[in-house]
Amino acid sequence: MDFLNNLLPHLLNGLALGLLFALIALGFTLIVSVMEIINLAHGSLFALGAYVAMVIINPGFTDSGALGSYYMSLPLGLRYVIALVFAPIVIAIVGFGLEIILRRTYGKKKEYGLLLTFGAALVLEEIIRLIWGPAEQFLPTPDAISGAFIAHGMIYSTYRVYAMCFGIFAIIMVWLFLEKTPYGAIIKAGAHDSEMVRALGINLPRLQMLVFGFGAALAGIAGIILTPIWGLRPHVGIDATIPAFLIIVLGGIGSFKGAVTGGILVGLAVGLTGAYASDWSLLSMYLLLIAVLTFRSRGLFGKKTALEA
């Protein structure tokens, strides 16, 4: 019983981490599926989302007149909600701009898109350094989701429970959007056969831009929720890109179920090994990937894609 009580907090931590990993990977896999581009700037968009949220929550313009003073007098919880709504919109707009630049690589070798997004990642990271500096920053969170609570004699992090619940909610919302709306049906059709979508009269360039922006917004949301756990620094995007890429390979490229399942498995592996064998924490997700690909070369739920052509 004591072993289970000690294990439960680490399971919850791993599950919270895994659900947020899945949220990052969902945006990544949507872009890969529809556009057949591995977006190496995804992690930088993740980091930028957290920095934009930080500015929205605490812009520091208390001396700029009545409007600034009024905004700063709003409760932290309300400013946090405003950031959670508007920061992903800003990141989606950045994603739109990046997709427009990427259009010059369409129809060419896939290495062109890969290199362009790699360069974009470096540019975004340097912009973050120029604006906010290289030092670690702090993303304020409301008191209601901070601190800890005691249940059954064990101490749990309130924020990690919130992060887990938010991750579940966000994943369900994305699933409902993809499965229950006509726009989601178009996105899934574009992931399956983009030429058929074009033949049906759907504006493919617009679809690609919207998917890229939607994927970027998911990265921004994940950045806001995950950075209070990881910390906020210019290169935090690298910490997000590697697990996201690993998860879509583990779960299967283009699979919603694979992204969610892979994210949870990676989160549990990292969380549990971090608790009992911290030196193996990061290595555990690579060992998990090797174990799965040994038996299923396309991942848990993967199908053949144009990336294999």
Whole-angstrom Cα distance, residue 101 to residue 98? 5
Structure tokens belonging to residue 210: 């919207």
Structure tokens belonging to residue 26: 């969902």
Domain boundaries, the chain: 2-308
- In the predicted model, is pLDDT for residue 61 greater than 60? no
Contact 112, 225 (CB under 8 A): no
What is the structure's pLDDT at 186? 78
* Digit-coded pLDDT (tens) for 203-235: 778 888 888 999 999 999 999 998 888 888 988
Q: Which pLDDT band, with edges at 50, 70 and 90, does 5 fall under? A: low
* Digit-coded pLDDT (tens) for 142-158: 988 888 877 767 777 88
What is the structure's pLDDT at 127? 94
**Dihedrals φ, ψ of 62, to 5°?**
-65, -20
- Please state which of the ranges 7-11, 140-144, 239-243 shows the lowest mean pLDDT: 7-11
What is the structure's pLDDT at 47? 93
User: Helix, strand, coil shares of the chain as percentages rounded to 5?
Assistant: 75, 5, 20
- pTM flag (> 0.85): yes
Q: Calculate the alpha carbon distances from 120 to 98, 115, 183, 217, 307 in Å.
A: 8, 9, 28, 16, 21
Contact 29, 245 (CB under 8 A): no
Structure tokens belonging to residue 12: 């919850």
